[in-house]
Amino acid sequence: MPTTWIPDIGRGVLVLGSPGSGKTFSFIDRVIEALFAQGISVLLYDKKGDQMKLHTSLASRYGYTVDVFAPGGVGLETGEDLDTPGADYTCVINVLDFMKDPRDATTAGELGKILIDSQGKGDGKKDFFSQTGGIFATGLMQLAKSSKYPDLPMVYAITQLPNLVERLDWAVRRNDDRKLDPWIAATISNFLSSKESEKTAASIKTTAEITFTGFIQNDLLPCMIGKSTIPLYLKPKQLLVMKLDDRRRSVIAPLITMCMHLTIVENLSEKRTNPFCYCLDEVTSLGVFAKLSEFINEYRSNGGIPILGAQSLNQFFELYGKERGKALVSGLFTHVLFGPNDSVTAEEYSKKIGNKTVVTTSVSRSRSQNGASTSVNQQTHQIPLISVDTIERFPQGKAIILNPGYGDKNDVKRPVMGKIGVPKEDIDRAIEAESVIWKEKIRPVLANRKAQLVKSRQQNYIDLSKLNETQKQDWTTEQLNLRLVAAEELLPMPPKDDK
């Protein structure tokens, strides 16, 4: 079976195709294994879980260290009991660990903006409260970072304090060793300036509160509490998979987006000696990833390899708007189009590929009194090189590849159309990886390593994998109550005689 060569992959790849078109299995999975063969660091977003099982198994064969961040889902298979040994394998990523200190408003601001953006746009009034709520969320994360529980559940605990405006105002004005850090005070000053308007202050607080409330779920807390168990900087031969629990996409997608944002910045803010690939198949399922276009265009020279997968261009246009969506996809130089089942996408690529000239000849004969005569007419037409209906009829595995390495010095990105074959041994290996190797070898190792790492980094460690479901709920309830008490200690009410 012939090899499909994809040169210049470092300039970014966009893969489009409807479900069942072969987008993931025929192309994205093959490219990722090619990266493993070269020892390249990989961050992989997985919407469904199939890629996680396949690529953790494949990466291990290539000598990779693998980690999985799967908040909420904990990787249970269909029909498995909640207490199945080895099911609790997700690593811990505490996003506040990546703030340098409580004064790091820059990182906190980026995280706050990601959370606010995930709620979508509204009218002007809603956007005002979203913006001010985002600034307030930044201050809350700085406050939590200064506490003895620097994590997102602590941020939530602060938002639950009654009379929060009065508490913060007192923390700013008091003149003892518990006076609020002036750098944190500067961030929340906008919120405090609205204290005379009860409605405005309540709306800002509600916006910030809604932002963090979604994370406070019994099975989400363990992957956010305490020290992170993995470094986000990936060395050669390291794979980090971030898996979405699609049943609770609206809650978990913003958390994963935050962690991906941190990981990409951590790996590409400075020039790398080895490349770093971030592969986001079904990327639009994350919602708005505000900085993604900037990452694609600005981090390429630092060693970034972006690979994005989606079903159609319309998914980008609907999510980001037409102009922002076009800017995002145009930053990726290799485009691979499988059957999109979307006429807009098919038409866009038919136009992009261009036309060819066709000459038609017509012959007409006539008879008259003077005898017979024959006339020959030639007409020149421009027709699409690949028509819209041809694209829409692509069978599974057939695709058009536009790549800057296809062509010559005078003409690049010549379209290549054909079926991308997958060897039978690759298919058999994928089936084995997903059904046997993952469950019997990879998952138990991940769960055991996770338990050891958490034990070494956490105080008063409890191995949650050895608790039943009721005991786990009791533990997470206790952790949340500890933070509610700590929030009260951090921001007490002003003295009664204070005016």
Map out the domains of the chain as residue ranges. 95-221+475-490, 354-393
Of 99-108, 288-297, 456-465, minimum mean pLDDT range: 456-465
Percent of the chain at pLDDT > 70 equals 89
Q: Measured in whole angstroms, how far is the alpha carbon of residue 491 from the centre of its chain?
A: 35
pLDDT value of residue 452: 76
- For 241-258, what is each residue's pLDDT tens digit? 999 988 888 888 989 999
Q: Distance (Å, rounded) from C-alpha 195 to C-alpha 166?
A: 8
pLDDT band of 378, cuts 50, 70, 90: confident
Do residues 274 and 101 make contact, with C-beta atoms less than 8 angstroms apart?
Answer: no
Alpha helices (H) along 160-248: 164-173, 182-192, 198-213
What average pLDDT does the segment 428-456 reach? Answer: 80
pLDDT value of residue 77: 60
What's the Cα-to-Cα distance from 327 to each of 119, 295, 334, 350, 486, rounded to whole Å?
22, 12, 14, 19, 45
What's the Cα-to-Cα distance from 325 to each of 284, 293, 313, 320, 403, rounded to whole Å?
11, 9, 8, 5, 20
Tokens 């991308």: give the residue.
420
CA-angle at 144, arms to 138 and 146, nearest 5°: 110
pLDDT value of residue 79: 57
436-458 exposure pattern, b = at least 16 Cβ within 10 A, e = fewer: ebbbeebbeebbebbbebbeeee
pLDDT value of residue 87: 56
Rg (CA), the chain: 28
Length of the chain in residues, anyone?
Answer: 499
| Average pLDDT of the chain, as a whole number | 86
Comparing C-alpha atoms, which of 51, 53, 11 is closest to residue 29?
A: 51
pLDDT value of residue 128: 47
Residue 400 pLDDT exceeds 80: yes
Structure tokens at 457: 């980094």
Q: Distance (Å, rounded) from C-alpha 248 to C-alpha 490?
A: 32
pLDDT band of 151, cuts 50, 70, 90: very high
Q: Which residues contact 8 (CB under 8 A, 6 or more apart)?
A: 333, 334, 403, 404, 405
